[in-house]
Structure 1
Amino acid sequence: MPFNLLIFPLVGGYYILIRFALFRYVQYRLEIQRVLLNSAFAGIILLVCCFILRAIINIILPDFTAFISEHLPVRTPFFGTTSFSLIVAVIATEIGNLFINRKKAIKMSLQKSGNEFELLMSSSFFDAHLLQFTMDSGKVYIGWVKELPKPFTTSYIRITPAFSGYRNEKKELIFTTQYLTVYASYIADGSVQDTNALKTDLVLKVDKINSASFFDLDMYKRFNPDQDNE
């Protein structure tokens, strides 16, 4: 087999890795050399599968394979099988993505190779944990992650705020806005049926976040019994 024909399964393997939802998010963090190596392994597996598929088709429909071989634009041996591997990679990947839940795929990728910040965001998004974000400016936001961004490419995060405030000179947390009370009043008077209609989401720039952590309101009240946060 001419080695230049191996470009087809190599590209096919790369396409699978960067497009198939179960694999693509993990590749973002890998070095380019590792991605190319993974692409080569995927290409080898793809090529073997195509040779097996060709053998099966040749047994079942020998006239069809002979017809295709005679009408190929290039008569180089194995051109048909190797080029077919790229077509199979594209079609199989796009069809496979139709049956893959994007959010579940992202969650699996984060569990496998996410960093601490990404795992924290994932926990809030999937398990509705309140998070506390302290910004460089001293401003503090407490809320739930509203939208799970693609792993390893996070520059901004969207949250639904529950409280906001700031830290004073003594680093004490001072609440200035309690969104939960406002949400409850809108729902109680029938103005909205869902808090999403209020458009109160905040977008935070990741590189402006000084720290992020879980926030438990009951525990906060126990540590700060003199502050009224009702």
Structure 2
Amino acid sequence: MNTRRIIRTVICSALLLGGIVGPMQAHASVVIAATRVIYNAKERETTIKLSNEGKTPSLTQVWVDKGDEQAEPASVDVPFTVTPPVARLDPGKAQTLRIAYTGEALPADKESVFWLNVLDIPPKAKDEGGKLNLLQLAIRSRIKLFFRPANLPGNPEEAPDQIQWRLVSGGIEASNPTPYHVSFAEIEIVAGERSAKYEEGGMVRPGEAKVFPLKGDWHMATGTKVRYQAINDFGGPHRNEVALQKQ
């Protein structure tokens, strides 16, 4: 799972008459200032900044979901409000989003995870004379929103190093005994000159055991190590390696 997942949604298209639209690249004009949001329970609200780095105005729609990326904003029931939910953002300007916890019960002994969505809707493209084949895209960015209760034991920065690793059929199992979510960008098993990797990224929830499939050429031997790159609260890398014990 990437630190920032982009979903492209077609919002308007013209009829394509006798032509083929070539490869297209969609780039979000509206950029989120972080790759994750940490909401500490003791805070009344938390904020995050959006910036329009494009050359045209954008309309932004913002909402929080529980993890179902197909859920419509109006149908999502979450204990957070985000303001402003809709706003115009001019080129070179910034907008501060305010996220407030509305008080519904969440687990007090572990983190909860939600997703913050930012939909970047570009202005309608000008087609003078009606001679162009137009395809407009709205780009949705989704980043994790972690709700962190007060007085959790341990330290979130040290949580990746508390993961317990075990070889299983089809890959390596990561067990998380901590109350914090641990996100990985990469996991590698090294045995001598052989190695196997998992590079797609993934997250292990508190108290969860998750299997990551491995690709590569390796075998279990004395001195086999697990090397991993986790992602900290600021979106930066946390790298470490530990010896993998024979089962």
TM-score class normalised by the smaller sequence: under 0.3
Q: TM-score, normalised by structure 1?
A: 0.21
Q: Which structure carries more relative contact order (alpha carbon 8 Å, separation 6+)?
A: 2
Which protein is richer in strand relative to its size? 2
Which protein is richer in helix relative to its size? 1
Larger radius of gyration: 1
